[in-house]
Amino acid sequence: MKTNIKLIIGIVTIAALMSACGSSSPKEKEEHGEHEEAGHGEEDIVSLTEQQMDAIGLKMVQLEKRTLNIAVTASGTLELAPQDKADVSPVIGGIVKTINVFEGDKVRKGQVLATLEHPDFIQLQQDYINTVNSLEYLEKEYERQKKLYEEKVGSGKDFQKTSADYFNSKSNAEALKAKLNMIGINSSEVAKGKIFPLVNLTAPINGIVSLVETNVGSYIEPLTKVFEIVDNEKIHADLMVFEKDMDKIKVGQKIYFSTTGVADKELEAKIFAISPAFEQNPKAIHVHANIVTQNVKLLPGMYIKGKIIANDVETDVLPEHAIVTEEGKTYIFVKKEGEEHDHGHEKEEQNSEEHAHESDKDEHHEGHEEGKWGFEMVEVITGATSNGYTEVKLLKPLPKNAQIAGNGAYYLLAEMGKGETEHSH
């Protein structure tokens, strides 16, 4: 009997001990839970000392309302309209006698670029003179036969033959006259008996000679390009706008663009035409804009990249440098309330015993740095960017007058990465 009682007492004692070891007080559970929660939250917190903040020139900013220019990005080239560039070719073949211009020379409409010579030029003028002279005789004969025919004196056969000869000769004279005028020879002077041995090649537009494709003594075939002239003063921007942005583009909108040919300068243009034709590869439309910026040397074919100012909106913004991108998401760093502290200046409410206790603790933490600021990494959604500011949309509300790191965000991101690496070890 005594043995049974001792056995029961032993079992009860063991159970009590196990219960005591496996349980904890509500206070202990609460403290343990708070510790886990605090540890989890610290993953998105990074701290900087005042010395670090001074070193990177950290400035604090707040969300502010600004009017942003919503822009459509586009790229293209500088082009000339068809009427602002010209090829110069001889109508009939000839040998180059003189060349009066070089590539890069500025020329005016009608200016002589080169002269050609060939026996055919002489023959053409001689044929015209002969035709004009014979036409005078045929015209008089035609009038005489017509009068005889009307008076019933002359035969109808003679009148018909004279009439045919006269009108054929007149038509031939007009054709020869047109050819002479086409190659730049004054037909009126030729009709008076003057012969021009040379034919002039002249500039059809004002502009700059961009190409010379011949030399003295060369024979130029008819309709062969000899010179090219471009009027670069009328150069315009030809940009490609993709299908998704077509509805945002209108005539009259401003364009700001840059080109490698003009370093460190943003140029301005204004849309004057939008092509109705839709390109299939890539799926885009041509947008043509007159260049507003003056006194800039631009050439056709230059590659350009710019933005079309499509709309103005008022929205919440932050400086561009306040925003970082990490794994496809965007973040800002918000100063934690109460995170600024300095262990060299304790609160007056602390009693001397607590102050002494805290001082003893500080002596045993050699790595502790005073005067730290804490920043929380907060995810946001960004929108348009203009003039150094970016639209920011919050995923959760921030405290009123929240302080945000206005620059050095990537430094904070790097510091956070260091902290995570150390924590993992």
The reported pLDDT for the residue numbered 42 is 53
Whether residue 14 is contained in a domain is answered as no
Write down the pLDDT at residue 2: 43
Is the same domain home to 111 and 182?
Answer: yes
Domain annotation covers residue 74: no
Residue 282: cis peptide before it, omega within 30 degrees of 0: yes
CA distances from 3 to 6, 10, 12, 13, 305 (A): 5, 11, 15, 16, 98
What is the SS3 assignment for 57?
coil
Which residues span the domain enclosing 94?
Answer: 83-230
DSSP 144: H
State whether 169 and 196 are in the same domain: yes
Burial 221-236 (b: 16+ CB within 10 A, else e): eeeeebbbbbbbebbb
315: left (phi over 0), alpha (psi -120 to 50) or beta: beta
209: enclosing H helix or E strand: strand 207-212
Q: Is residue 102 part of a domain?
A: yes
Give the count of beta carbons closer than 10 Å to the beta carbon of residue 19. 9
What pLDDT does residue 9 have?
Answer: 41
- pLDDT for 421 equals 54
Q: Name the strands in the sheet holding 227-230, side by side, starting at the edge strand that comes first in the sequence.
A: 85-88, 227-230, 207-212, 106-107
Q: What is the CATH number of the domain that holds 390?
A: 2.40.420.20
Q: Is residue 240 part of a domain?
A: no
| Residue-by-residue pLDDT tens, the chain, 425 positions | 444 444 434 443 444 434 444 444 444 444 444 433 333 345 678 888 888 888 888 888 999 998 887 788 899 999 999 999 999 999 999 999 999 999 999 999 999 999 999 999 999 999 999 999 998 889 888 888 888 877 777 677 888 888 898 999 999 999 999 999 999 999 999 999 999 999 999 999 999 999 999 999 999 999 999 999 999 989 999 999 998 888 889 999 999 999 988 877 899 999 999 998 888 888 899 999 999 998 888 889 999 999 998 877 788 999 998 999 988 899 999 998 754 444 333 333 344 444 444 444 443 333 334 568 889 999 999 987 777 889 899 999 998 889 999 888 888 888 877 765 555 55
CB atoms within 10 A of CB 199: 23
Verify that 167 and 62 share a domain, yes or no.
no
| Structure tokens that stand for 202 in this block | 């002249």
Residue 333, in any domain of the structure:
yes
Give pLDDT, residue 57.
86
Tell whether 90 and 207 lie within a shared domain: yes
The verdict on residue 374 lying in a domain is: yes
**409 and 379 housed in the same domain:** yes
Of 181, 197, 230, which one is at a domain's C-terminal end?
230
Do 52 and 154 lie in one domain? The reply is: no
Question: How far apart, in whole angstroms, are the C-alpha atoms of residue 10 and residue 408?
Answer: 67
User: Could you give the dihedral angle defined by the CA atoms of residues 23, 24, 26 and 30, in that order, rounded to the nearest 10 degrees?
Assistant: -120
Same domain, 142 and 215: yes
Residue type, 40: H
